[in-house]
């Protein structure tokens, strides 16, 4: 039983689908593991560390995947990269199938079993495999860190001999996994935090984290949550009321983090140009929904812009800006799922195709697209011409100049410095991810199996919030420590006129 770990080709993707810790555990399950050369460099994991954990290093993609029964990846690989895998091999990753049906059909045509981890049901048993939660949690944390890095003022209240500095006001829009972690992180940094959401359950979650809940709490709000806990598309009337309330609130904020999403739809537009213009110069907006079109009218996906002195950060793949931790958690998510697919005693694959986790996540099997959400375009895929060594997929169209992604040698300090520098300039390119196109017709990005009927009770909700925001903290120390990264250069801030807003 061979497991292959691919080096990511998607520009700006610095994560990797396995770590030395998970490699050792996969070997313990009876697998042999081949990691593609350089796969971990973006997350500061060298080939030697993978080798020490028991993996062999594949010098080419073809060599890495040859004879593989399972291929682990972060982004969807091109079918051509999978030449030489065993027939029916599982390709497990964040395959992002919506809007990419042709690629999925090509994977079917290549004879692999494509498994989309985003479709993992949000049930208790699968929490440990939930890549959406593990990555959104980190994105929420990192959004606040990015905002703090370009904010020209201190976050906490400071009482000094020279006088008192008031705390920053942070407003989080969308209190799902990312939003709750953003609230918790901003609170830890000492900001006065408020938050909004259209789901009533979010109110007590926000309050349990010490945030002030700001929302139009009408009848529509009381009905705004689906049985699965997701937000519904709100009516135009509600959106108008919400915009009015938001407009007054935003004008007084220093930092705004937007995370609002509706499964399968473009991100709701929550902040207009006028609202941005109502904010004081020096304020910062981080739009975590940039990849799905943005919650902010002025957001440019993949870029940092400045408008009337307000910095708008439109990074996509924000979790990829904290790659070592993101890879650590993502790899554990994958390991947990793969463990359910292996008979550890017999040391061989033993897939239960009737398992709800398998049924929910398998997109292709036996040459066909089998997932119910993709039945319509499941025309027989043309045979895929496979190359011996896979070509690098075309780069994202976003130009990358001053603020490169934190990959490989670029590393965190350089990227942060770049982000900091970028804050002083308008229109500086940031991350290089191509924005995902949300599929307008699709109501639900997760399968119906994920729906749970009972609303959360207050104590359960508070517990769940703690759990969600503490995922990263609760994670054990990585088995292999990276070499000490160079220390972050001292933050140099542009000399902007200061004074309380
Ligand atoms: P998401 O990424 O789909 O959306 C982010 C947030 O944006 C949501 O809270 C949503 O309500 C909010 N939103 C949508 N439209 C909005 C608008 N117009 N204005 C303001 N906010 C808006 O959500 P998510 O982080 O994936 O979480 C969705 C739900 O799933 C939550 O209830 C969460 O607690 C739950 N969840 C459950 C599990 C589990 O049981 N295993 C795991 C993770 C999350």
Q: What is the DSSP letter of 296?
A: B
Ligand 1 neighbour 149 (Cβ under 6 A): no
**Tokens 């040391």 map to which residue?**
347
Neighbouring-strand partners of residue 212: 194
163-214: pLDDT as tens digits: 999 999 999 999 999 999 999 999 999 999 999 998 999 999 999 999 999 9
For the ranges 60-64, 152-156, 179-183, 450-454, which has the lowest average pLDDT?
A: 450-454
Confidence of residue 375 (pLDDT cuts 50, 70, 90): confident
Residues 352, 123: Cα–Cα separation, whole Å: 18
Res 225: pLDDT:
81
Instruction: Point out the ligand 1 atom lying closest to the alpha carbon of residue 196.
Output: 20
Confidence of residue 376 (pLDDT cuts 50, 70, 90): low
Cβ(231)–Cβ(202) below 8 Å? no
Residues 444, 357: Cα–Cα separation, whole Å: 17
130 given a catalytic annotation: yes
312-357: pLDDT as tens digits: 999 999 999 999 999 999 999 999 999 999 998 898 999 999 999 9
Cβ(20)–Cβ(404) below 8 Å? no
113-156: pLDDT as tens digits: 999 999 999 999 999 999 999 999 999 999 999 999 999 999 99
208 given a catalytic annotation: no
Contacts of 256 (CB under 8 A, 6+ apart): 170, 171, 172, 173, 250, 271, 279, 283, 284, 285, 286
* CA 311 to ligand 1 centroid distance, Å: 25
Ligand 1 neighbour 295 (Cβ under 6 A): no
Instruction: Point out the ligand 1 atom lying closest to the alpha carbon of residue 229.
Output: 32
> Exactly one of 37, 63, 127, 239 is catalytic; which is it?
127
CA 438 to chain centre: 15
- 3-class secondary-structure state, position 311: strand
Ligand 1 neighbour 75 (Cβ under 6 A): no
Res 396: pLDDT:
33
Instruction: Point out the ligand 1 atom lying closest to the alpha carbon of residue 465.
Output: 34
> Exactly one of 49, 133, 253, 336 is catalytic; which is it?
133
In the predicted structure, residue 439 carries a pLDDT above the cut 60:
no
Res 265: pLDDT:
82
Res 262: pLDDT:
85
* CA 394 to ligand 1 centroid distance, Å: 32
In the predicted structure, residue 48 carries a pLDDT above the cut 80:
yes
Q: Which ranges constitute the DSSP H helices of 340-404?
A: 356-361
In the predicted structure, residue 379 carries a pLDDT above the cut 90:
no
Confidence of residue 222 (pLDDT cuts 50, 70, 90): confident
321 given a catalytic annotation: no
Ligand 1 neighbour 196 (Cβ under 6 A): yes
330 given a catalytic annotation: no
Residues 321, 411: Cα–Cα separation, whole Å: 9
Cβ(10)–Cβ(393) below 8 Å? yes
What per-residue string of b and e applies to 244-280 under the rule 16 or more CB within 10 Å gives b? eebeebbeebbbbbbbbbbbbbbbbbbbbeebbebbe
Instruction: Point out the ligand 1 atom lying closest to the alpha carbon of residue 224.
Output: 11
In the predicted structure, residue 480 carries a pLDDT above the cut 70:
no
Shortest CA distance to 498 belongs to which of 157, 218, 151? 151
Q: Mean pLDDT of all residues in the chain? A: 81
Angle separating helix axes 323-339 and 20-28, nearest 10 degrees:
10
What pTM was computed for the model?
A: 0.78
Q: Maximum distance among all alpha carbons in the chain?
A: 74
Instruction: Point out the ligand 1 atom lying closest to the alpha carbon of residue 225.
Output: 11
* CA 461 to ligand 1 centroid distance, Å: 13
In the predicted structure, residue 245 carries a pLDDT above the cut 50:
yes
Ligand 1 neighbour 261 (Cβ under 6 A): yes
Res 479: pLDDT:
37
Handedness of CA 453, 455, 459, 461 (dihedral sign): positive
Tell me the best of 133, 215, 231 to mutate to test the pocket of ligand 1, counting ligand atoms within 8 Å of each CB and taking the most: 231
263-292: pLDDT as tens digits: 778 899 999 999 999 999 999 999 999 988
Nearest residue by C-alpha to atom 9 in ligand 1: 176
133 given a catalytic annotation: yes
Mean pLDDT of 18-30: 97
- The encoded tokens of residue 66 equal 């040859």
Contacts of 141 (CB under 8 A, 6+ apart): 181, 182, 185, 322, 472
% of the chain surpassing 90 pLDDT: 64
């Amino acid at each position: 039983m061979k497991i292959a770990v691919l080096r990511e080709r998607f520009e700006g993707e610095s994560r990797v689908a396995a770590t030395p810790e998970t490699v050792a555990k996969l070997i313990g399950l009876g697998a042999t593991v081949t990691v593609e050369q350089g796969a971990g460099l973006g997350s500061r994991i060298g080939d030697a560390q993978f080798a020490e954990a028991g993996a062999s290093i594949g010098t080419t993609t073809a060599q890495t995947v040859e004879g593989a029964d399972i291929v682990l990846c972060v982004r969807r690989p091109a079918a051509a990269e999978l030449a030489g895998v065993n027939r029916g091999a599982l390709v497990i990753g964040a395959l992002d199938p919506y809007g990419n049906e042709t690629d999925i059909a090509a994977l079917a045509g290549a004879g692999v079993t494509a498994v989309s981890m985003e479709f993992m049901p949000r049930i208790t048993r699968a929490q440990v495999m939930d890549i959406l939660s593990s990555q959104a949690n980190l994105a929420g944390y990192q959004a606040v860190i990015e905002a703090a890095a370009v904010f020209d003022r201190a976050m906490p209240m400071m009482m000094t001999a020279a006088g008192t500095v008031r705390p920053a006001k942070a407003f989080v829009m969308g209190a799902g996994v990312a939003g709750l972690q953003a609230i918790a992180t901003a609170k830890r940094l000492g900001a006065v935090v408020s938050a909004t959401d259209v789901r009533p359950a979010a109110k007590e979650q926000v309050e349990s984290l010490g945030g002030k809940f700001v929302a139009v709490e009408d009848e529509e709000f009381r009905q705004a949550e689906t049985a699965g806990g997701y937000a519904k598309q709100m009516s135009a009337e509600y959106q108008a009321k919400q915009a009015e309330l938001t407009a007054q609130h935003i004008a007084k904020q220093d930092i705004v983090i937007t995370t609002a999403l509706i499964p399968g739809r473009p991100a709701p537009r929550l902040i207009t140009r006028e609202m941005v213009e109502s904010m004081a110069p020096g304020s910062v907006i981080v739009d975590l929904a940039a990849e799905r079109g943005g919650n902010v009218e002025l957001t440019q996906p993949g870029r940092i812009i400045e408008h009337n002195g307000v910095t708008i950060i439109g990074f996509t793949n924000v979790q990829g800006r904290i790659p070592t931790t993101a890879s650590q958690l993502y790899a554990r998510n994958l390991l947990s799922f793969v463990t359910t697919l292996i008979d550890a005693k017999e040391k061989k694959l033993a897939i239960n195709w009737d398992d709800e986790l398998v049924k929910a996540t398998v997109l292709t099997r036996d040459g066909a697209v089998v997932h119910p959400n993709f039945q319509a375009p499941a025309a027989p895929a043309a045979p895929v011409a496979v190359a011996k060594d896979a070509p690098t997929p075309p780069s994202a169209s976003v130009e990358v100049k001053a603020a490169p992604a934190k990959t490989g040698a670029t590393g965190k300090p350089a990227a942060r410095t770049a982000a900091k520098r970028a804050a002083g300039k308008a229109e500086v390119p940031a991350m290089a991810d191509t924005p995902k196109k949300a599929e307008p017709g699709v109501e639900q990005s997760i399968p119906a199996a994920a729906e749970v009927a009972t609303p959360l009770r207050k104590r359960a909700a508070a517990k769940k919030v703690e759990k969600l925001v503490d995922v990263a903290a609760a994670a054990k120390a990585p088995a292999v420590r990276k070499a000490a990264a160079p220390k972050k250069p001292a933050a140099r801030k542009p000399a902007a006129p200061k004074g309380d807003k």
